[in-house]
Chains A and B, each alone.
Chain A
Amino acid sequence: MKSYSWSWLGLLLLVSACDDGRTPLVLYSPHGRDLLVLLESEYERRHPSVDVRWLDMGSQEVYDRVRSEAANPQADVWFGGPDTIFGQGAADGLLEAYRPSWGGSVPSGSRDSDDLYFGLYRAVPLLIYNSDAVDADEAPHDWDDLLDPRWQGQIAIRDPLASGIMRTVFGKVLADSVLATGDEAAGFEWLLRLDAQTKGYAANPALLFERIVRQEALVSIWELTDMLFQRQRGAPFGYHFPSSGSPVIDDSIGLVANAKHPEAAKAFIDWVGSEDALLLAAEKAFRLPARTDLARESLPGWAIEALDQIVVAEVDWTLIADRGTEWMARWDREVRGRGE
């Protein structure tokens, strides 16, 4: 019996250590299965000698991991997350400059001036509601609508500390406050009122969506791509693009410094931003391309519709990048659960 279990173990070890001779290419990404599987199979079909391996994690976790592995980088490509987080990574020396073939087609505001990272997709924060329980007209149309007494205790929010989307939305509120009044007091005041309206913070998107689908809460803040996926799966979600403007996020990509497979990584980055790959991601995985040179009519219907409706907010991104960490720490201390 004992010797059996040992030989099993040996076999398992052998299998897990097995290498099929392909060049491994490791992606750390918050993009999720749907897109990653799609890109993996398409890329491997085109490049049979490459084995695309991805690890899915939150955008803030990608940063944390890349940083703690700096002495022995495991990732080749840092694939996805708001450019503010990439900015942090660039400041910590975690990225290597590489200008992909499509780099020039990205507007200069959506890429790093030192070529450390480039905007690839655009993530659009928006207001969501349970469409079984709330009429589209009634549902919040703008950020301030969330503070309406009607939504008292009906709002669930994804825990903002771990979420790039929520950090960006809260960052916009505070940056707007600095722009309008000179400091962030008014912004924190607004966030306190939102906290008072909020029923609870969900530890992850699954729990956020469960809460809304099960009508424990009716309204939330989330992002376009996930909403389109959820609706495709039949979930009762509706959404509105905030009328005063949405802090549209440049979801970026970059080459990890001292990556083990830099050439494979560069080739992948070149491909993933190509017109083919962008259109594939738009069609199959609801990703809005960051490049502005793609013909409008080549995009799928949902994207054209979204581009017509989105109001892009003017946001001081530098300020969010500089102060974001401090702001979120302060929010965690002084706002979470404190709203009356």
Chain B
Amino acid sequence: MMSPSRAQKWLGIGLAAVLAWLVGYPLLITLAEALGLPAALDLGAFEEFARRPDEWLALWQSLWISVASVLLAAVIGVPLGFLFARNEFPGRRLLGSLVILPVALPPLVGVIAFLFLYGESGLLTRSVQLVLGLTSAPWRLDGPGAILLVHAYSMYVFFYLFTRAALARFDASVLEAAASLGAGRRRTMTRVTLPLLMPALVGAALLTFMTALGSFSAPYLFGGGFRVMPTQIVVSKLNGQLAMARVETVMLAGVAFFGLWLVRRLDSGGQTTAGGVRGVAPGRRRLQSPGARVAAAVAGWALALFLLLPHMTLILISFVPPVSWTTEFFPPVLNGDNYRTLLAETERLRPVFNSLWMALVATAVALGLGGLAARLTLVLKGRLGRSLELLLAIPWAIPGTVFAVALAMTFSVRAAWMGRFVLVGTVWILPLAYIVRSLPLTGRSALAGLRQFDTRLEEAAASLGAGWSYTWRRVILPLLKPALAAGASLAFITTLGDFVTSVVLYTYDTRPVSVEILSSLRLQDTGVAAVYGVFLMVVSATIFLLWGRQEDV
């Protein structure tokens, strides 16, 4: 292992300081203000919180919904990852890309597509009702069940992607060694494969937990009386109860940190570089019997159809003119009115440009910073390395709402000597927030990639006379590419469709598509909202399909 150079140390300190200022500091400010500081210590709001059973209930429900979402997502995503990484069957490549698409379903309006599909008068609901001859809808889409459905559907992708990426970096010789030592398939799986996958699985679990904990759209649209913390914060803020909103923010952040701590404990044994990357990934098993191949193909396509139903519904809604679809099973009129409405005014395309440039900038910057931070984390080790890693993880450990509210509170005050500037209302705050929010995605995937990366390769390159930049260009980056691509595409897509952070921080000049979707829904323009949603979906899907293709080559 190389020891860090002086420059790397200073770079690490500088990066840690910037991250601390953007990530840790706003949280501290929020905590201080929740405690009534600096005026006087006032625990009134906390006492009020503690007295209210509904607040505790919301906290508890946030927690168990998130844990359940992780479990459900893992149960779906991990086997799928194995299926697609290890087996060969007809349509594998296309299907392998299609199963990522749930993540491309935009916020709010994507959830509304669920409503039009599985809701009381939804397409699928009415079909079932028709087939079974029922007089009323066979189920109701609300409460925790509905929230979990949406979460499991959209978040298994994290597990699937991370599992696949890790398996792609896997060294077949390890499996061969296990086999030649007499380990059966089961033993190889539990003692070799899974431990090696641990960093990836832990990363996916953390992502899923934090996304579920901060999830707003599903509880907001389906929750009804079912409270979770992010909706509580918004309600308190809307109702003008600022003190309560602050306490709720702090409590939600507390749960998030608890989750992060737990995950880091799980992860501490995950320093696996065993095996290096000398070998190639194990080849895919071809399903031999024709029956199995057909069965796999049919099951695969059925799954893909099921996964794509919400997308197709969203596209359908985008072609339904206002108030034309009432009690009919299928929309009676379909035309391009909603698209024409949108294209007729250039001003309505502004949010599309805004979202694109902000997502692009944020992803590019986060990719650079995240890669650098991940690298420094490993090189520096020690306390500095650990704090860098922690700072890198925190933006995901705090739900979007918490982060945005904290950022808005901290940077709406003019006090340069305290490191506080007025950024609220400027063009900069939203791209900045996007960068910070993207860092864990890019940083985490770079870290996972680097951890599986054999540093001896780098030493070999150095001893062969390769310089710093040459080593990066020809050795490190090519090997990290799958991991970086995964992180960058996730970062781009989450930023492009981000709602929870944007809605707090946007300004006239930076209003993104998601905010325009919200506003269209407020103005009863479901069709126009769907058009914006289709745009987000198409861009996200294109990026993923491109990436999936590259992954396969």
A residues engaging B (CB < 8 A)? 5, 9, 12-13, 15-17, 26, 32-33, 53, 55-58, 60-61, 63-64, 68-74, 88, 132, 161-162, 200-201, 203-207, 209-210, 213-216, 226, 230, 233-236, 325, 328-329, 332-333, 336-338
Contact A206 B522 (CB under 8 A): yes
Q: Could you tell me if A205 and B221 are in contact, using CB atoms closer than 8 angstroms? A: no
* CB contact between A64 and one of B238, B322, B409, B507 (< 8 Å): that residue: B238
A26 to B425, CA, bound (A): 12
Q: Quick check: which of B26-34, B62-70, B352-360 contacts chain A, the rest being far away?
A: B352-360
Establish whether residues B237 and A56, one from each chain, have CB atoms under 8 Å apart when the complex forms.
no
State whether B240 touches A230 (Cβ < 8 A). no
Determine if A16 and B509 form an interchain contact, defined as CB atoms under 8 angstroms apart. yes
A213 pairs with B323, CB closer than 8 A: yes
- B521 touches A (CB below 8 Å): yes
Q: How far is the CB of A22 from chain B (nearest CB, A)?
A: 14
- Interface positions, chain B 41-71, Cβ under 8 Å from A, are 52, 54
Chain A CB within 8 A of B271 CB: no
For B426, list chain A residues within 8 Å (CB): 72
Can you pick out 23 interface pairs between chain A and chain B where the beta carbons lie within 8 Å of each other? A12-B357, A57-B522, A68-B409, A68-B412, A71-B412, A71-B413, A88-B240, A132-B326, A203-B220, A204-B518, A206-B526, A207-B115, A209-B323, A213-B326, A214-B327, A215-B121, A216-B119, A216-B120, A233-B322, A235-B322, A236-B326, A325-B240, A333-B54
Closest to B356 in A: A12
Across chains A and B, the number of contacting residue pairs, with CB separation under 8 Å, is 133
Q: Is B278 an interface residue when CB atoms closer than 8 A count as contact?
A: no
Within the complex, the shortest CB–CB distance from B401 to chain A, in Å, comes to: 13
The chain A residue with its CB closest to the CB of B357 is A12
In this complex, which of B239, B360, B426 has the most chain A Cβ atoms within 10 angstroms of its Cβ?
A: B239
Contact, CB under 8 Å: A216 / B412: no
B48 to chain A, nearest CB (A): 10
Residues of the A chain whose Cβ atoms lie less than 8 Å from the Cβ of B237: 64
Bound-state CA distance A16–B90 (Å) is: 47
In the complex, chain B residues 379-412 whose Cβ is within 8 Å of any chain A Cβ: 408-409, 412
Given contacts A203-B221, A325-B239, A333-B52, contact A210 B511 (CB under 8 A): no
Query: Smallest CB-CB separation from B245: which chain A residue?
Result: A64
Residue of A nearest to B240 (CB): A325
Inter-chain contact A206/B521, CB cutoff 8 Å? yes
Contact status B326-A16, CB under 8 Å: no
Once the chains bind, are B353 and A12 in contact (CB under 8 Å)? yes
Shortest C-beta distance, A221 to chain B (Å), equals 16
A161's partner among B239, B350, B425, B522 (CB-CB below 8 A) is B239
Query: Most chain-B Cβ atoms within 10 A of its Cβ — which of A53, A68, A200?
Result: A68
Cβ of B221 to closest chain A Cβ, rounded Å: 5
Q: Are A336 and B225 in contact (CB under 8 A)?
A: yes
When each residue 328-359 of chain B gets 1 if its CB lies under 8 Å from chain A and 0 otherwise, what string results?
A: 00000000000000000000001001101100
Please give the distance in Å from A225's CB to the nearest CB on chain B: 12
The answer to whether B519 has its CB under 8 Å from any CB of chain A is: yes
Least CB distance from A255 to B in Å reads 17
Kindly list chain A residues whose C-beta atoms are within 8 Å of the C-beta of B354. Answer: 16
Chain A residues in 8 Å Cβ range of B526: 206, 210
> How far apart are the CA atoms of A68 and B504 in the complex, in Å?
9
CA–CA, A205 and B529, complex, Å:
13
User: B239 to chain A: closest CB distance in Å?
Assistant: 6
Complex contacts, A332 vs chain B, CB 8 Å? 235, 239
Give CA–CA (A17, B142) in the complex, Å.
43
Query: Once bound together, how far apart are the Cα atoms of A230 and B324, in whole Å?
Result: 12
Q: Given B52, B224, B519, which contacts A57 in the complex, CB threshold below 8 Å? A: B519
Contact present for B524 and A72 (CB under 8 Å): no
Looking across the interface, which residue of chain B has its beta carbon closest to that of A12?
B357
Most buried by A among B52, B112, B240, B525: B240
Q: When A53-B508, A71-B412, A214-B325 are in contact, do A33 and B360 touch as well, CB less than 8 Å?
A: no
* Known pairs A72-B422, A233-B322, A233-B323; A61 contacts B221 (CB<8 A): no
Bin chain B's interface residue count.
35 or more
Which chain A residues border B414 with CB–CB below 8 Å?
A: 71
B542 within 8 A of A: no
The 7 closest A-B pairs by CB, nearest first: A337-B225, A235-B323, A206-B521, A74-B425, A72-B425, A12-B357, A72-B422
CB–CB A15/B353 < 8 A: yes
CA distance A214 to B133 in the complex (A): 19
**Cα A69 to Cα B414 with chains together (Å):** 12
Task: Assess the A68–B408 pair: CB atoms within 8 A.
Answer: yes
Query: A68-B412, A161-B238, A213-B326 are known contacts; what are 6 more A-B pairs with Cβ within 8 Å?
Result: A9-B360, A32-B523, A161-B235, A204-B522, A206-B521, A332-B235
C-alpha spacing A201/B507, complex, angstroms: 29
| B273 within 8 Å of A (CB atoms) | no
Is B326's CB under 8 angstroms from A214's CB? Answer: yes
Contacts of A68 in B (CB 8 A): 408-409, 412, 424, 504
Closest residue on chain B to residue A167 by CB atoms: B239
Which A residues are CB-close (under 8 A) to B112? Answer: 207
Q: Let me know if A200 and B224 touch, CB within 8 A.
A: yes
Measured between alpha carbons, how far is A32 from B240 in the docked complex, in Å?
23
Chain A neighbourhood of B523, CB < 8 A: 32-33, 56, 205-206
Q: Which one, A5, A12, A72, A206, contacts B424 given CB within 8 A?
A: A72
Known: A205-B522, A206-B525, A336-B225. A69 touches B508 (CB 8 A): no
Whole-angstrom distance between the alpha carbons of A32 and B520 in the complex?
A: 9
A71 touches B524 (CB 8 A): no
Q: Does B241 contact A (CB under 8 A)?
A: yes
Are A9 and B361 interface neighbours, CB within 8 A? yes
Given A9-B360, A161-B239; A207-B221 close (CB under 8 Å): yes
Q: How far is the CB of B266 from chain A (nearest CB, A)?
A: 36
| Cα separation A200 to B529 with both chains bound (whole Å) | 22
Q: Which residues of B contact A200 (CB under 8 A)?
A: 142, 224
Cβ–Cβ contact A69 & B323, under 8 A: no
- Say how far B30's CB is from chain A's closest CB, in angstroms: 13
Chain A residues with CB below 8 A from B504, complex form? 68
Contact between A206 and B408 (Cβ–Cβ < 8 Å)?
no
